Structure 1
Amino acid sequence: MEKNQIGILAIVGIVAASLITMGVSAVIFGGGGGGGYSIQISGSTTCFPVIEAAAEEFQNKYPEYTIEVAAGGSSKGVSDALEGVVDIGMASRNLKESEQGQGLIDYVFATDGIAVIASKGLGDLELTMEQLFKIYTGEITDWSAVSSKSGSITLYTRAEGSGTRASFEELVTNADGDELGESDGYINNVGTYQTVESNDQMATEIKNANNAIGYCGLAFASDADHEIVSIDGVEASASATADGTYPVARGLHMFTAGTPKPAALAFINYIMGPNGQAIVAEEDFVPLSWYSA
């Protein structure tokens, strides 16, 4: 994926927000004289904290709405939306080729950096993108090749179906621009890496492991618990993600199968608006470019 695609997606999100704003205010403020409105949401563990917090605030303001939010991974969110199991699917990646052309509408509501994290005992680490690529393809296996420390590198990855993993595999490239996920070395070795199911679990495992490296959504990374690795001289941060200098970043998405029902559209409008974008910022993700606190 082209690195500036994140910015393009954010612009698409802004356009979508402006379009839906025109028709949704009546839904939000038209109130619940009937039996109320129900919204089902599932998907990405990265998106989950933002959407859950927004759902709670939205329901407090508009008690006629009931919103259920479940994690389970980006692939589940996309498939649930396609199959009509939920009204909104959450994903921290773009649609795969196999998921395209089936009528899903994409609402990009935030940008997130994927932080590369390592065991605390490794000290300050600075890797080039090429070195990170070679670590995950198995070409570099000892810390002595890239730092003042030594010891076999223990690699952590996310489970298949994770949007964070899919984005990491796409955004990490070698000097020729080849994507990690398409490298034979990575494909042959990734099954031997330690696999975790969520961003929270990744952060915990790296905190407790020795000589380990992994990755997680920026909001889940903490200097206190592990090293945040600089990539090409830039450490993952909200500001570096927002200005495009941090290279491992992606958009966060909500998907609906065609035009969403009015209740779901009301909630999407809320996320894309000032109140929702304030929650995005509070949860340590990067809001859409028009928003300022």
Structure 2
Amino acid sequence: MKTRIATFVACLAMSGLISCGDNSGEQLDTPTTGNINISVDETFKPIIESEVDTFEGIYKYADIDAAYKPEGEVIKDLLNDSTRVAVLSRELSENEKAVFDQKKIIPRSTKIAIDAIALIVNRNNKDTLLTMEELKKVFTGQAKQWKDLDADSKLGDITIVFDNNNSSTARYVRDSLTTDQKLPQNTFAANSHEALIDYVAKNDNAIGVIGVNWISDFDDSTVVDFQKRIKVVGISPDPNPQSTEEYYQPYQAYIAQGVYPLRRYLYIISTEGRTGLGTGFASFVAGDKGQRIILKSGLVPATMPVRVVGLGN
């Protein structure tokens, strides 16, 4: 009798272990434990590194391996099932959703932040205020020299610098400023954000396009160093601004109010078919602690109110 009871208890224990795994008996991740790979648009490396480090610090048995790549490669990872979780600055297109429909998978999208594209120039460049119309001329090749924007400028040919030809910032410019035209011949890719900032810092004629989280967290010594080497361009949505007060830099308050024109959203997209570690991480980033990290970084939290204080004279 005792032998039968012992055998029954052992079977229950084994079934309990197997129930935590898949059909092969392999242990599966949970919302706070296990290991997963995620693909992240490299534009958001600083903020997602902070989120991952904090999440792993709280949940000791969670291990998130983040691969930082150009947007196009992140999308490929998601479509090819190389990852179940991706961090992107856009939602999936209808064609991309159709791929998952064929696989009977329903992707879940969680908005986690409002981001912005920043434009940076060399510290010797006096043209730090541009209108949206002027930007369109630059990115369509109509303005090829700095004199085309300011007749008094002593600088030469404009050089446009992106982090990567396949990056989300390059796509954003094509979608928002060039109406799907090809970028002009005076455009090149630096292949990393650090190299982009370094190039702009060393070349008077350059204008760089970069995600704002690379230059917005002033508690980060790297960001402080970057800020010392470049200038951030103020942008006016008005084609004929009457004063410098009508130009806006990508400060958190201006992004939150919607007056800074080059804004976009940040999403975590998950194709998990169950509540796993990817779902747990997305919930964390969209929750109180994760949103506070986004607030500190200089981006605008998507699910947490931002208090904008106006100072009178």
Give your verdict on TM over 0.5: yes
Is 1:126 the counterpart of 2:120 in the alignment? no
Aligned length, in residue pairs: 250
Aligned 8 A contact 2:190 2:196 in 1: yes
Q: 1:94 to 1:134 in 2, by over 3 A?
A: farther
Q: Which runs of 5+ in 1 are unaligned?
A: 1-26, 173-179
- What is the match of residue 280 of structure 2? 266
Give the structure 1 partner of residue 187 of structure 2.
Answer: 193
TM-score by length of 2: 0.73
Aligned CA distance change for structure 1 residues 98 and 161 (closer, same or farther; 3 Å): farther
Do the aligned partners of 1:43 and 1:78 also contact (CA within 8 Å) in 2?
Answer: no
* Greater RCO (CA < 8 Å, at least 6 residues apart): 1
Q: Which residue of 1 aligns with 2:175?
A: 170
User: What secondary structure sits across from 1:189 in the alignment?
Assistant: coil
Quick check: 2:91–2:109 contact (8 Å CA) kept in 1?
Answer: no
Please give the secondary structure, in 2, of the residue aligned with 1:182.
coil
Q: 1:168 to 1:198 in 2, by over 3 A?
A: farther
Distance 1:112 1:127 in 2: 20
Match of 2:161 in 1: 156
2:90 is paired with a residue whose SS is: coil
Worse overlay, 283-292 or 107-116 = 283-292
Greater CA drift, 139-148 or 236-245: 139-148
| 1:146 has 2:146 as partner | no
Question: 1:93 aligns to what?
Answer: 90
TM-score, normalised relative to structure 1: 0.78
Instruction: Tell me if the contact between 2:40 and 2:87 (Cα under 8 Å) persists in the aligned partners.
Output: yes
> Aligned-pair distance for 1:43?
2.4
Q: What is the match of residue 16 of structure 1?
A: none
Q: What residue is the counterpart of 2:241 in the other structure?
A: none
Contact 2:295 2:301 in 1 (8 A): yes
Of 219, 230, 241, the residue aligned with 1:226 is 230
Cα distance change on mapping 1:154 and 1:182 into 2, 3 Å: same
Secondary structure, in 3 states, of the residue corresponding to 2:124?
helix
Q: CA deviation at 1:228?
A: 1.1
Aligned counterpart in structure 2 of residue 78 of structure 1, from 59, 75, 80: 75
1:130-188 C-alpha deviation (Å, 9 max, x unpaired): 1111111111111122233232212213423211221222222xxxxxxx1523xxx16
Q: Deviations over 1:186-235 (max 9, x none)?
A: x1625x52212233332222111121112101122354221211111222
In the aligned structure 2, how far is the partner of 1:218 from the partner of 1:120?
18
Conserved? CA contact 2:34–2:61, under 8 Å: yes
Query: Identity percentage over the alignment?
Result: 24
CA deviation string 1:68-111 (max 9, x = no partner): 11101222222212222112111123434542333432222111
Q: Which amino acid aligns with 2:83?
A: V
Residues 2-52 of structure 1, C-alpha deviation per residue, up to 9 Å, x if partnerless?
xxxxxxxxxxxxxxxxxxxxxxxxx65xx7xxxx51121112012222222
- Report the counterpart of residue 60 of structure 1 in structure 2: 57
Q: Could you say if the C-alpha distance between residues 37 and 258 of structure 1 is closer, same or farther in structure 2, counting changes exceeding 3 Å? A: closer
